[in-house]
Chains A and B, each alone.
Chain A
Amino acid sequence: MLNRRNFLTAAVGVAAAGGLAACAKEDEGGSSSSDGNGGGKKITLGFAQVGSESGWRTANTKSVKAAAKDAGYTLKFSDAQQKQENQISAIRSYIAQKVNVIAFSPVVVTGWDAVLKEAKTAKIPVILTDRSIETSDDSLYVSFIGSDFTDEGRRAGKMLETVLEKAGHKGAVKIAQLEGTTGAAPALERAKGFKEIMDADHKDDWKIVVSQTGDFTRAGGKQVMAAFLQSNPDINVLYAHNDDMALGAIQSIEAAGKKAGKDILIISVDGVKDGFVAMSEGKINGIVECNPLLGPQLMELVKKVNDGETVERRIKTKEGDFLQEQAKDALPTRKY
């Protein structure tokens, strides 16, 4: 069924694109919203997405696509399937096509200097979305819009304090950490932010006893957690770098005959719908939201950059923290 729906969406998309083109040519009759931009040249945005590794990412993609359409920009979109080389070649092709602005979510943190220098030489401004990069030359990109992962890690640490207090937890806090994909910014920074809080306020009572990558996937989270529970049966807190890994881990915790959310308190990051479902069932104790719906903010930024205005180097997306009490109320509003 989904298959057909997809096909229909694609067909409608093609038809709509054809219709718009026709409107632009005829130039008369009904004034569609895209005509509003008529005066200047239409902005072309090249967007290189990481892939579609999770529901979060799909929501992010949809938001960007919808916002570009609403703003009347031409969007050239590519999906890198989690491979840096794909993303680099996508960016190269955007440079060759002379798009106005390039935006991308880097797969990994390093290794972007060469291709971004090419963009700079071609005078195409680059915006980073959602994930940051490490570079020796800050002029290679104009702005970074997205969540602050280090801050998310800190928020998760603070949230754990609240959750522990509410659960009336006493004694040592033995934390298992499920890391994201090794080398990816969200994995590194969510671990870093969490550790900051731990080192600052809980040097003696909190301890990360095991930490391993679950690759941001449910299957990964499940398998790694199963091994954790064998090697360290006394774990009482799980900090997962995303909801999907937490959801997988919950299954392993239950298979081990323990209660997720009670015997093992769970904090995760993201806030996808399935995560909220699990939280409303009491299986996750707290979720630090990482908002993927940054499309409209991005388009605003693209316009400013294209007009040559100076923009802030760091723009944060709007996000919240959720505990179990809020889960039921927030659930219907979750779009992804």
Chain B
Amino acid sequence: MTTTPRWRALTHHHLFWPVAVLVILLLVNVPFTPDFFAIKMTDGHLYGSLVSIVLFGSPLILVAVGMTLVIATGGIDLSVGAVVAITGALTCSYISDQADQSALSGVFLALGIGLAAAIVCGLWNGFLVARMGIQPIIATLIIMVAGRGVAQLITDGQIITVNSEPYKLIGGGYWLTLPFSIFIVAAVVAVTVAITRRTALGLLVESVGGNAEASRLVGIRSMRIKIMVYVFCALCAGIAGLMISSNTSAADGNNAGLWIELDAILAVVIGGTSLLGGRFSIGGTVVGALVIQTLTTTIYTIGVPTQTNLVFKAAVVIIVCLMQSPKFRAKVFGAKFGGKRAAVPAPAETAPAAEASPKMEVS
């Protein structure tokens, strides 16, 4: 490696470690599933492990993207799993009451009802956090606990099965040979990145997260920003809820989105967003969510015994978090890989070539 400064810049990029972990996890699968990366055409759509990972990971990516903005303001939203369940339950129960379940008008109305419910949940969270000044973890706990009950009330405790082709498209269908959910995720991520990075909004969100009071004093309406991110988060969770229920063509008030809030928070953290707020990375979150989904798939493919699933998952997550800690890297691999982030903006040319003797074996 002669391009030492470039390598250095690469390892210090905020996406380097999440992406490295993702690649390693994907490679782990190869000995167990030799054609893991193979993608073939089946029944007019692409089929393969990678497609499955993106398909099953789509809801998590959406929820995690919404969660990222909430966390950027220094908050947290525990209610997303319940919002997933409520949205799916409302939408499916409306569709199942229709005479013609495949009628587009009925499906669109059902989607509207489901997403409206999600927005109401978001407004409620935002109201409690921003207006009433309740700790986000407590404020969102309310819907986390109560929301699942509401979802079960809507479905009458049953699993509601729907037979609607247009609805199935959202989370289980294919378009242009790709899972349709990929397009939804791409659209949501693109819009989010555009409005947070192409406008000042992202900066405002970060400044509210950095110091809400100071932001207010310089003229940022921090209350509004906070309410907005909670509504956005709930909306993302709502779309994820549509996907999850559409994927199996059934609304399961009890299990849909169960524990997804924890996976989403984990995805955000793996992606390099600080839980303290004030800084966020949408790209990192997307990679983080893919890491989690890949980990789940890996557990299934390499045949980890069911009893040790969670231990295995925990071990990987611990390793991932440690790898991301500059202090840990400095201790274990020496200063080269653990270099302070603050040093990155310094002109790369001045980095002594001797010090940066390349070491490719990043374990």
Interface set of A (CB-CB < 8 Å, partner B): 1-3, 5-6, 51-55, 57-58, 61, 81-82, 179, 182-183, 210-213, 215, 217-220, 222-224, 226-228, 230-231, 244, 247-248, 251, 255-257, 274
Contact = CB atoms under 8 A, between A and B. Distances in A.
Contact of A212 (B36, B43, B45, B300): B300
A51 B93 CA distance: 20
A52 B152 contact: yes
Nearest to B304: A212
Contact of A182 (B158, B299, B309): B309
Given A1-B93, A222-B248, A223-B52, 17 more contacts: A1-B97, A5-B156, A6-B153, A81-B148, A182-B309, A211-B306, A215-B255, A219-B244, A219-B247, A219-B252, A219-B255, A227-B300, A230-B301, A231-B303, A248-B248, A255-B47, A256-B42
List the 10 closest pairs (A to B, CB-CB), nearest first.
A227-B300, A257-B42, A52-B157, A231-B301, A218-B248, A58-B157, A213-B306, A217-B255, A231-B33, A230-B49
Contact of A223 (B49, B300, B309): B300
A179 B306 contact: yes
Contact of B36 (A2, A51, A230, A251): A230
Given A55-B158, A257-B42, A257-B47, A231 B254 contact: no
A179 B156 CA distance: 26
B56 interface: yes
The secondary structure that dominates the A interface is: helix
A182 B56 CA distance: 21
A13 to B, nearest CB: 14
A212 B36 CA distance: 19
B159 interface: yes
B254 A257 contact: no
B177 to A, nearest CB: 13
Contacts of B306: 179, 182, 211-213
B32 interface: yes
Given A6-B156, A55-B158, A218 B48 contact: no
A179 B172 CA distance: 23
B363 interface: no
Contact of A219 (B154, B256, B300): B256
5 contacts: A2-B155, A182-B309, A219-B248, A222-B247, A230-B52
Contacts of B48: 230
Contact of A226 (B36, B56, B158, B161): B56
B49 A54 contact: no
Given A1-B93, A217-B252, A217-B255, A244 B159 contact: yes
Nearest to B44: A257
A226 B157 contact: no
Interface string B43-67: 1010111001000100000000000
Contact of B154 (A3, A52, A251, A257): A3
B307 interface: yes
A251 B172 contact: yes
Contacts of A179: 306
B250 interface: yes
B273 interface: no
B296 interface: yes
Given A219-B255, A226-B52, A231 B156 contact: no
A181 B156 CA distance: 22
A58 B252 contact: no
Contacts of A257: 42-43, 47
B159 A54 contact: yes
A2 B255 contact: no
A243 to B, nearest CB: 10
Given A1-B97, A223-B300, A218 B159 contact: yes
B52 A61 contact: no
**Which residue, A51, A226, A247, A251, has most C-beta atoms of chain B within 10 A?**
A226
Contacts of A213: 306, 309
Given A228-B300, A230-B33, A257-B43, A223 B56 contact: yes
B297 interface: yes
A198 to B, nearest CB: 18
A234 B31 CA distance: 17
Contacts of A256: 42, 47
Contacts of B161: 274
A280 B150 CA distance: 33
**Which residue, A58, A213, A224, A227, has most C-beta atoms of chain B within 10 A?**
A227
B42 to A, nearest CB: 4
Contacts of A211: 306
A230 B48 CA distance: 7
A61 B152 CA distance: 14
Contacts of A81: 148, 254
Contacts of A215: 255
Interface string B302-323: 1100110100000000000000
A270 B204 CA distance: 54
Contact of B32 (A220, A223, A231): A231
Interface in B210-261: 244, 247-250, 252-256
**Which residue, A5, A53, A215, has most C-beta atoms of chain B within 10 A?**
A53
Contact of B159 (A55, A82, A222, A230): A55
B137 to A, nearest CB: 20
Contacts of B43: 255, 257
B303 A2 contact: no
A228 B48 CA distance: 12
A253 to B, nearest CB: 11
Interface in B134-167: 148, 152-159, 161
Given A226-B56, A257-B43, A2 B252 contact: no
Contact of B153 (A3, A222, A226, A255): A3
A61 B153 CA distance: 14
A212 B49 CA distance: 17
A215 B309 CA distance: 12
A217 B93 CA distance: 18
B50 to A, nearest CB: 10
**Which residue, A6, A52, A183, A224, has most C-beta atoms of chain B within 10 A?**
A52
